[in-house]
């Protein structure tokens, strides 16, 4: 039954990273390496949490050679939805 504790710890680490580095863009592959395969799920949980001080955004660009994805955070605007 340690999974919820581990999940919460990773979610908090993700929140801390982005809150301390607002606007800084991080490559998706690096984030998945740092936080595991459930990174996107945790980002979704953070974005759905109305008490979260930030929202995490994502942008993906595709070219013929590869797909590039980056994430960054902004301060959550009170009352705004994701």
The pair of three-digit structure tokens given for residue 54, joined into one six-digit string? 């930030």
Q: What percent of the chain has pLDDT over 90?
A: 70
Give the pTM: 0.80
> With bands split at pLDDT 50, 70 and 90, how would you rate the model's confidence at 31?
very high
Quick check: 71 and 58 in contact, CB under 8 A?
yes
The pair of three-digit structure tokens given for residue 62, joined into one six-digit string? 């595709």
> With bands split at pLDDT 50, 70 and 90, how would you rate the model's confidence at 14?
very high
**7/21: higher pLDDT:** 21
Q: What's the CA gap between 24 and 17, in Å, rounded?
A: 10
């Amino acid at each position: 039954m340690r999974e919820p504790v581990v999940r919460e710890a990773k979610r908090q680490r993700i929140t801390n990273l982005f809150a301390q580095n607002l606007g800084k863009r991080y490559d998706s592959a690096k984030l998945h390496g740092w936080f595991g395969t459930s990174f996107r799920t945790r980002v979704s949980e953070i974005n759905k949490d109305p008490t979260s001080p930030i929202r995490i955004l994502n942008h993906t660009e595709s070219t013929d050679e590869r797909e590039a994805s980056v994430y960054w955070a902004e301060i959550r605007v009170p009352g705004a939805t994701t």
